[in-house]
């Protein structure tokens, strides 16, 4: 059963501080194990949406001195959210939402292994920017994925999605979640394997082999950071490209081109160098967003629940971070055993979505309640806008 507590910060030990009021024992133990690594400084910040991950906990902020753990960044480098507030209100939208869902599904390739047939005009300058970055960093992403330019503007599967939502004022938002796709995954997997090999070569005794790390100053470290930062940029541009396509479909659906009132794009799987508690550290956010004082971010709920535009509070103990979403309570296989398509239909009442058994593992009940996660995050962010879903698009 989940461990329950009041919605306040918990100091689990001197190197691990948690904001999660729902925290199962395996996740807690995994975070404790990671926090014992000698180069963690000053402490790991466990976010309210924390759940078990590969090596390091999803929903954790891991500051390290002189080293980075590739698995603590994750295999979907640069995964994150983008949200756009349009000029439309709910009253402007046609009653038929099936047509816009199907139009978005045609415009954005969905599901793992699904990519573009060609580099379209809007993607050309973004691909050109990524080519220029490659030349500066001195590596070839085609060695990981020959078709990487065709991956730009594609969604993927799992918990990645496109949504149309409305806020408290009935303003219409477009909202999507995706990362660096197959090329980013292969970059991550390569460097996780390199770190594992080096730690074995150096006879480093790790509490978990997935906590293998790269040491700052080495060629392997420099290559990882160069390729990781490229993949982070790929992920951000991937979201921009998809959002432009989605907005075109929305404009055609309504009969008027979209005028953007606001655009927010933020990572939640990444690492960067920052200063905390007097030292320069590598901060790896695995399922967490930056929440500096005043910084805007986007925190999605699960399929069928509320999502939030937030403003960071710059909490120094949390390393200026906040949760990235609801956080799973059921694994995908457990969710498929526990829930039914009929229950998913009930949870999605009033929301246009593709009615398919394949999405049962994304049912809201498979995740922590997003209102509980946001209550736990009250010291990390303030909610600026609450979004209610109208249309949901997912890949299988």
- Domain ranges, ordered by start, for the chain: 3-394
| Distance, CA of 332 to CA of 71 (rounded, Å) | 20
Q: Regarding the domain with residue range 3-394, which homologous superfamily does it belong to in the CATH classification?
A: tRNA-splicing ligase RtcB (3.90.1860.10)
3-class secondary structure, 11: strand
| Distance, CA of 210 to CA of 207 (rounded, Å) | 9
SS3 track for 322-374: EECCCCECCCHHHHHHHCCHHHHHHHCCCCECCCCHHHHHHCHHHECCHHHHH
**What is the torsional sign of CA 91, 92, 96, 97?**
negative
The pLDDT value recorded for residue 2 is: 39
Q: Distance between alpha carbon 326 and the CA centroid of its chain, in Å?
A: 11
The pLDDT value recorded for residue 7 is: 55
| Distance, CA of 183 to CA of 79 (rounded, Å) | 12
Nearest to 44 by CA among 52, 56, 26: 56
pTM of the model: 0.95
The pLDDT value recorded for residue 4 is: 38
Mean pLDDT by 10 residues, the chain (396 residues): 56 96 96 97 98 95 98 96 98 98 97 95 97 91 97 96 98 97 97 97 94 98 97 98 98 98 96 97 98 97 95 98 96 96 96 96 96 97 98 93
The pLDDT value recorded for residue 6 is: 43
The pLDDT value recorded for residue 138 is: 86
The CA distances from residue 328 to 156, 260, 351, in Å, are 18, 32, 21
For the annotated catalytic residues, the residue numbers are 324
What token pair was written down for 254?
């309504």
């Amino acid at each position: 059963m989940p461990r329950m507590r009041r919605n306040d910060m918990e100091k689990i030990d001197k190197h691990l501080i948690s904001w999660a009021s729902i925290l199962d024992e395996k996740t807690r133990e995994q975070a404790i194990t990671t926090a014992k690594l000698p180069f963690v400084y000053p402490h790991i910040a466990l976010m309210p949406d924390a759940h078990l991950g590969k090596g390091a906990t999803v929903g954790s902020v891991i500051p390290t001195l002189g080293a980075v753990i590739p698995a603590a960044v994750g295999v979907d480098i640069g995964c994150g959210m983008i949200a756009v507030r349009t000029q439309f209100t709910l009253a402007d939208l046609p009653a038929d939402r099936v047509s816009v869902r199907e139009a978005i599904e045609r415009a954005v390739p969905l599901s793992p292994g699904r990519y573009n047939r060609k580099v379209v005009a809007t993607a050309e300058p973004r691909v050109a920017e990524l080519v220029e970055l490659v030349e500066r960093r001195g590596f070839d992403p085609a060695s990981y994925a020959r078709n990487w330019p065709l991956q730009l503007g594609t969604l993927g599967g799992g918990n990645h999605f496109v949504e149309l939502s409305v806020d408290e004022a009935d303003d219409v938002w477009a909202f999507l979640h995706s990362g660096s796709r197959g090329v980013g995954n292969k970059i991550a997997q390569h460097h996780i394997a390199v770190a594992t090999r080096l730690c074995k070569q150096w006879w480093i005794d790790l509490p978990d082999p997935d906590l293998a790390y790269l040491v700052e100053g080495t060629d392997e470290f420099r290559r990882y950071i160069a390729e990781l930062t490229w993949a982070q940029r790929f992920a951000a541009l991937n979201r921009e490209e998809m959002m432009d396509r989605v907005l075109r479909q929305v404009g055609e659906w309504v009969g008027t081109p979209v005028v953007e009132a606001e655009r927010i794009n933020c990572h939640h799987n990444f690492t960067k160098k920052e200063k905390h508690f007097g030292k320069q550290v590598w901060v790896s956010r695995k399922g967490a967003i930056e929440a500096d004082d005043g910084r805007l971010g986007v925190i999605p709920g699960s399929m069928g629940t509320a999502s939030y535009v937030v403003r960071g509070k710059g909490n120094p103990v949390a390393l200026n971070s906040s949760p990235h979403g609801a956080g799973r309570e059921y694994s995908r296989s457990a969710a498929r055993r526990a829930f039914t398509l009929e229950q998913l239909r009930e949870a999605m009442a009033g929301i246009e979505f593709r009615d398919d058994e394949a999405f049962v593992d994304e049912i809201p009940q498979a995740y922590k309640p997003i209102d509980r996660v946001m209550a736990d995050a009250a010291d990390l962010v303030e909610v600026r806008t609450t979004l209610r879903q109208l249309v949901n698009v997912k890949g299988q």
